[in-house]
Amino acid sequence: MIAQRRRLLRIGAAGIAVALFAVMVLAPEAFERPLAALTKFGQPAIYDRDSILALTLSHMGIVAAASLAALVIALAIGIFVTRPAGAQYLPLARAVANLGQTFPPIAMLAVAVPLTGFGARPTLVALFAYGLLPIFENTIAGLKGVSPQVVEAARGMGMTGRRILREIELPLALPVIIAGFRVSIIVSIGTATIGSTVGAKGLGEIIIAGLQADNLAYVLQGGVLVAMLAILVDLGLGFLERRARQPRSA
Amino acid sequence: MITVEALTKTFGPVRAVDGISFELAEGEALALIGPSGCGKSTTLRMINRLIEPSAGRVLIDGVDTTSIPPATLRLRMGYAIQGIGLFPHRTVAQNIATVPRLLGWPRARIAARIEELLELFGLPPAVFARKYPHELSGGQQQRVGVARAMAGKPAVLLMDEPFGALDPITRTRLQDEFLAIRRRMGTTVLIVTHDMDEAFKLADRLAVMEKGRIVQLDTPEALLRHPASAFVESLVGSEDRGLKLLSLAGVTALMQPATGWTAEADGTFRKAGADASLAPLSASASLREAASRLVFAGVDELPVVDEAGAMVGAIAMERIIAFGGGGR
């Protein structure tokens, strides 16, 4: 009963969030009146230098590309260092992933721009490096969390290492891996806003334009759009994580 | 048939298993028994190559196991362990289907095998096939674990303390069930245990291990009557070994023709000249049960009846006592 009510509540909240976000992206004029209260000296209340839809899609595209690349690489390395053959590389891989996380993204941008030029590329590099660690650590935690007895039984029954990975270890580690991906992508959605300082097209553009022109309405519009995007992605991945966690019973 | 020749495993300077040899015949059940760290589990795991031997070899039907890829070899050997190791994200039916699926059986044959095994282990398929392991009790999980190990019709079933983690009542019940299933299917079994009663119950022969070596390999009766060393003697339990010996043989082995007994109307029997009538003993009882009844009734002879209640003979205390003769 309680679980069912909680589920309905979640679905309801998600529906409202999706609707609100859709209006903000597709018909930003709808919020002109409340936002106008925040402007001074007849400033425009709604960002009009580019379409909100185009900025949102570009923002999502950069984050998706960087996060998916981080997922593939972190997963591959995480699997490798938990195999007997790769175990000796675990400390090295950990050090590299930690470095990506401790190096501030803004500094990464500064380093990347001379190498890759302005635009989306330096942002992709920074987000990729920043997003590796949570996925990598959760992949290791998920794979190491699989009961040794389950793996021993699988091996003893004649499953090959590859089959054990595919049919036993990865499905059992999946919820933890999704949780890591979830953290990584949420952080990236927020962090991607700074990419606008080096010419990446994204929602950060609205916030930066607002800061430069001292227009609070722009800052709020950009900030809320980014936050809503993060919340929606979090809800979606949370749903996937729960699905992966519970074996459904007949 | 499994032949083990001078099998040895060293971990650094330690010889965990030290030149072990034995043969396991088709349909036989052999127990490796000994205290923790005696090398019994290591021996078992070398047979399906979960551990590679340092020296010696294992033959399955005359073929050296090192000539067979480990995964292929293990498909021919069932494997059941104490922790069970059921796959938590798969149903009971999917768990049991593991080896048949790896063997590439057709779908219908796998389905039939799952049904057969669930019936055999007293788990109605309609109720249990689609359940997940976490929905089962410990005893049910263990049944599924053994059923899964038997699913591919293995040449030998390797079991490592399979009933170890269960409460005593469930353990005894599962042992009885397994014994009946094994007798019916003629399964060849190699079982590792530290529980002497379990080994006596389930195995035809016992290999007693100490410090990586087999110190005695014999039938339960021979182990009890002629322990090769003080260690074996302490392991089989010196205080109650007379009783253990009696539990190995059935009452029919020492039965004599009944003379002087008459049947009463209520199913009891009266010896000529006796005051009271006595309830008879079942022909399927062990000598231990017979001795217990004789002591409890305070008599020196009891009638034995078959399933229909007809008298087939009588068992006398003096013959039971003579059965234990020869012990020191």
Domain shared by B158 and B51, yes or no: yes
**Per-residue pLDDT at B7 exceeds 70:** yes
What's the burial of B61, exposed, middle or buried (CB within 10 Å: 0-12/13-18/19+)? exposed
Domain shared by B37 and B181, yes or no: yes
- Give the tens place of pLDDT for each residue, B277-322: 888 888 888 898 999 999 998 888 888 988 888 888 889 888 888 8
In one-letter notation, the amino acid at residue B97 is A
Interface of B with A in 52-91 (CB under 8 A): 71-75, 78-79, 81, 83-91
A20-47: average pLDDT: 80
What pLDDT score does B272 carry?
A: 82
Domain shared by B49 and B97, yes or no: yes
Task: Provide the domain limits for residue B317.
Answer: 248-323
Task: Name the phi and psi angles at A198, rounded to 5.
Answer: -115, 20
CATH number at residue B120: 3.40.50.300
- Give the tens place of pLDDT for each residue, A71-130: 999 999 999 999 988 888 888 888 888 887 788 888 888 888 888 888 888 889 889 988
Domain shared by B45 and B153, yes or no: yes
Q: Is there a contact between A150 and B89 if contact means CB atoms under 8 Å apart?
A: no
Q: Is there a contact between B98 and A149 if contact means CB atoms under 8 Å apart?
A: no
The DSSP string of A213-239 is HT-HHHHHHHHHHHHHHHHHHHHHHHH
- Give the tens place of pLDDT for each residue, B121-151: 889 999 999 999 999 998 899 999 999 999 9
Q: Is there a contact between A159 and B85 if contact means CB atoms under 8 Å apart?
A: no
Domain shared by B221 and B252, yes or no: no
- Give the tens place of pLDDT for each residue, B61-118: 989 999 999 999 999 999 988 877 899 999 999 999 999 999 999 999 999 999 999 9
CB contact at 8 A, B125 and B15? no
Mutate to test the interface with A, among B98, B131, B159 (most CBs of A within 10 A): B98
CB contact at 8 A, B20 and B4? yes
Could you give all domains of chain A from N- to C-terminal order, each with its CATH number? 50-245 (1.10.3720.10)
**Contact status of A84 with chain B (Cβ, < 8 Å):** no
Whole-number average pLDDT of chain A: 87
Instruction: Calculate how close chain B gets to A48, using CA atoms only, in Å.
Output: 51
Q: Which residues of A touch B90 (CB under 8 A)?
A: 247
Domain shared by B306 and B271, yes or no: yes
Domain shared by B48 and B179, yes or no: yes
ipTM of the complex: 0.79
Task: Name the phi and psi angles at B216, rounded to 5.
Answer: -160, 135
- Give the tens place of pLDDT for each residue, A72-84: 999 999 999 999 8
Q: Which residues of A touch B145 (CB under 8 A)?
A: 153
Instruction: Calculate how close chain B gets to A72, using CA atoms only, in Å.
Output: 24
Domain shared by B233 and B252, yes or no: no
CB contact at 8 A, B190 and B205? no
**Contact status of A154 with chain B (Cβ, < 8 Å):** yes
- Give the tens place of pLDDT for each residue, B28-72: 999 999 988 898 999 999 999 999 999 999 999 989 999 999 999
DSSP state of B143: H
Instruction: Calculate how close chain A gets to B173, using CA atoms only, in Å.
Output: 24
